[in-house]
Amino acid sequence: MALVIPGIHHLTSIAADPQRNVDFYTGVLGLRLVKVTVNFDLPDTYHLYYGDEVGTPGTILTIFPWSRVPRRRPGTGQVAVTAFAIPAASTGYWVDRLRRHGLAVARPAARGEEEVIPFTDHDGLQYELVARDDGPARAVWAGGPVPPEHAIRGFHGVTIWEAELEPTARLLTELLGFRLVGEARDRLRFVVGEGAARAVIDVVCPPGVAPGAEDVGTVHHIAWRTPDEAAQRAWRERLTAAGVPVTPVRDRQYFKSIYFREPGGVLFEIATDAPGFAIDEPVAALGTSLKLPPWYEPQRAEIERALPPLTPRARGG
């Protein structure tokens, strides 16, 4: 079986207040809240999923709102910056929109051939909007506050911080099939996938940065796509044969997952595209009620009592 990673499946970050999170990502960034569930390992906390109209792999940002942990800047062994793709003609719209909502945003900066808008959310998570001419999006959230012609198209990629470049570079190219497309003294750029689904990963060695910790304001993990369970099993076999410790397959209800750490410490996941987010509620109702996996349904009343109230709304216009 030829193993190929088409791009990013999802990315999971750690935030604080869940309601403020929903208000920002739906009301300001214009992402759709496609699933309200719980952390399957810590069911007394939410797990919030945002994406396009249907939660297409490659558009999915998920959040653990862990209000009881401290806020911290990212460090080595972590994703430091998450980059979304926006239409090439939309940079002016996004600068104005983010400023209107109180974010400190400079004019777009040139990075090689890219036009980039950096900003930081209320929890300290670092983002970029990168202008890309990928054509029309497949499933923009028509009910959101951002006009479809300007809406976020999904992920452009990530920047990860490492203490060393080479061990991570070898895993990306030799095991995962990434292509090295750019090189500087302390930065390597890789690409995986093709067309609109392609993803960029910048591996950076920042001087004087300590190892990171999983706290508010940091990214917990990044998940790469695989089409189905057969391909996922083949990935697990390949990684295990190469001496990479990999978890058993875990059922995340909306996809199946395996996890491993790359040599620098970033937690990687390989997640299946199927079955998707419409298996337990219709597309029109995505994200409007708390969904639990079958093994937690007997504890629903107890879980609901432990969770703070949450209103799925899109404010901000």
Partners of 182 in the β-ladder: 189
Examine residue 316 and state whether it is found in any structural domain, yes or no: no
Residue 34 is encoded by which pair of tokens?
């496609």
Examine residue 98 and state whether it is found in any structural domain, yes or no: yes
The per-residue pLDDT for 185 is: 84
Q: What type of residue is 122?
A: H
The b-or-e profile of 145-177 (16+ CB within 10 A means b, else e) is bbeeebbbbbbbbbbbbbbebeebbebbeebbe
Residue-wise pLDDT tens digits, 147-189: 999 999 999 999 999 999 999 999 999 999 999 999 988 999 9
Examine residue 2 and state whether it is found in any structural domain, yes or no: no
Number of domains in the chain: 1
The per-residue pLDDT for 316 is: 55
Percent of the chain with pLDDT over 90: 90
- For the chain, helix, strand, coil in percent to 5 are 20, 35, 45
Examine residue 314 and state whether it is found in any structural domain, yes or no: no
The per-residue pLDDT for 135 is: 80
Q: How far is CA 209 from the centre of its chain?
A: 23
Return the DSSP state at 193. Answer: S
The per-residue pLDDT for 111 is: 83
Examine residue 296 and state whether it is found in any structural domain, yes or no: yes
Examine residue 312 and state whether it is found in any structural domain, yes or no: no
Distance CA 315, CA 269 (A): 32
The per-residue pLDDT for 1 is: 67
Distance CA 85, CA 262 (A): 25
Torsion angle of the four alpha carbons 29, 35, 40, 42, in this order, in degrees rounded to the nearest 10: 50
Residue 21 is encoded by which pair of tokens?
């999170």
Distance CA 52, CA 144 (A): 10
The domain that holds 179 is classified in CATH as 3.10.180.10
The domain in which residue 45 lies consists of 8-306
Question: Distances in Å between the alpha carbon of 31 and those of 171, 240, 298?
Answer: 32, 36, 31
pLDDT along the chain (317 residues), means of 10: 93 97 97 97 96 97 95 97 96 97 90 91 97 86 94 97 97 98 93 96 97 97 98 98 98 98 98 97 96 97 96 67
